[in-house]
Structure 1
Amino acid sequence: MVIAVIVACEIGFWLLLALGLACRYLWKRRTLSNVLLISTPVLDLVLLAAAVVDMRSGAPFDLRHGLAAAYIAYSVVFGHQTIRWVDARVNHRYAGGPPPPPPLTGAARIRAEWIGWARIVLAYAIACGVLVLLGWLAGSSAGIMEFALGLSRVPIIALIWPVSHMIWPKKAPVEQ
């Protein structure tokens, strides 16, 4: 059940995003657009509730509950940024807004990659907090700490991005 709810929440996120932006740019319903976009975190609460119900009904903690925690953490840390990114592109494409900024290069790109890595570390910390909350709400913490320790590899693996940009920085395109 939890995997199905994760999939439903992901589909729901993109549907709310698409409807929110359609309301904003196609139908000029700014208030409704804001309500739809602001309601995306409700999906995280639905997922948390589904994971708690699953564990309280006797399911032992396993990968699906860990994925739920990771999904919630990603949503909290990267959800607003994703909405802003898509909004800028839709605004430019369909509402005559300014073009999105060009991709960063050089030192600015390296800085952005380190900020991205810091956000991944924050998502890891939030995922661990969600795991603890899940265990507390479900009344069972067996296996949760082992999963959190397993997740500790994520920030280490994610170091590949900022380090690779320091070694091979993206250069600005040559203007002709």
Structure 2
Amino acid sequence: MFVAGFIAASEVGLWVLLGLGLGLRYVLRRRRASTLVLALIPLLDVALVAATAVDLHRGTAAGTTHGLAGIYLGFSVAFGPALVRWADVRFAHRFAGGPAPVKPPKQGPERMAALWREWLRVVVAAVIASVVLLGLVLLVADVDQDPVLLGWVARAWVVVALWFVFGPLWELPTSRQRATVHSERSSS
């Protein structure tokens, strides 16, 4: 339960720091303060891993929350900068007269490139989650806790595989068909 609370606090903290940082930047025009607040976001991840390690070290039976902490950290690090950029563009548009956000491409090579970039972020997330979970296995967990944590490493890679199948691979035939139709129209 201790780690579950930390995961929830990390998620809430992410959005609070993000909103505060962007508010400082665009509403109050305090760029340095904004940068400092946004730089605190990764510390939430460090605190989460530390809390997970402490909980495991105390002898708590490893469970879903411990595995999710590693997964959360991986996805937070891999997707965090993209999330901050996404929010920044929208906040700048809404509060500072910035350009409207560019809509993601719905087809073509740009769509495929976006899907591949997103999938690569998932791979990075799985690598980070795996390293964190394996680090917990090697440095903190006991033999009873190890199988649960290793099971979460496997789950991370199942997500990578599913994301590949329902992301880039799923779009590949449609993308090729559209390119063929487009080239046939161009040549006639």
Q: Structure 1 length as normaliser, TM-score? A: 0.90
Q: CA deviation at 1:167?
A: 3.2
Higher-Rg structure is 2
Instruction: Report the equivalent of 1:113.
Output: 115
Aligned mates of 2:141, 2:4 — CA distance in 1 = 21
Matches for 1:64-143 after TM superposition, within 5 Å: 64-104=65-105, 105-140=107-142, 142-143=146-147
Instruction: Report the equivalent of 2:153.
Output: 148
Aligned mates of 1:22, 1:125 — CA distance in 2 = 33
Read off the aligned partner of 1:93 and give its amino acid letter.
R
Post-superposition CA distance 1:55-94 (Å, at most 9, x none)? 0111122211110000000111000110001000110111
Aligned mates of 2:154, 2:170 — CA distance in 1 = 25
Post-superposition CA distance 1:94-132 (Å, at most 9, x none)? 100112223213111111101111111111111100001
Aligned mates of 2:174, 2:15 — CA distance in 1 = 33
Aligned mates of 1:54, 1:82 — CA distance in 2 = 29
Aligned mates of 1:24, 1:41 — CA distance in 2 = 19
Q: Does 1:54 align with 2:55?
A: yes
Where does the alignment leave 5 or more consecutive residues of structure 1 unmatched?
A: 172-176
Read off the aligned partner of 1:117 and give its amino acid letter.
W
Matches for 1:11-22 after TM superposition, within 5 Å: 11-22=12-23
SS at 1:152's partner residue?
Answer: helix
Deviates more, 1:42-51 or 1:146-155: 146-155
Aligned mates of 2:140, 2:49 — CA distance in 1 = 11
How large is the Cα RMSD of the aligned pairs?
1.5
Q: Does 1:165 align with 2:171?
A: yes
Deviates more, 1:2-11 or 1:134-143: 134-143
Aligned mates of 1:80, 1:38 — CA distance in 2 = 11
SS at 1:140's partner residue?
Answer: coil
Q: Where has structure 1 moved over 4 Å in runs of 4 or more?
A: none
Post-superposition CA distance 1:120-168 (Å, at most 9, x none)? 1111111100001222332436212233123321111111111222234
Read off the aligned partner of 2:87 and give its amino acid letter.
V
Q: Which has the higher helix share?
A: 2
Q: CA deviation at 1:4?
A: 0.8
Read off the aligned partner of 1:154 and give its amino acid letter.
V
SS at 1:98's partner residue?
Answer: coil
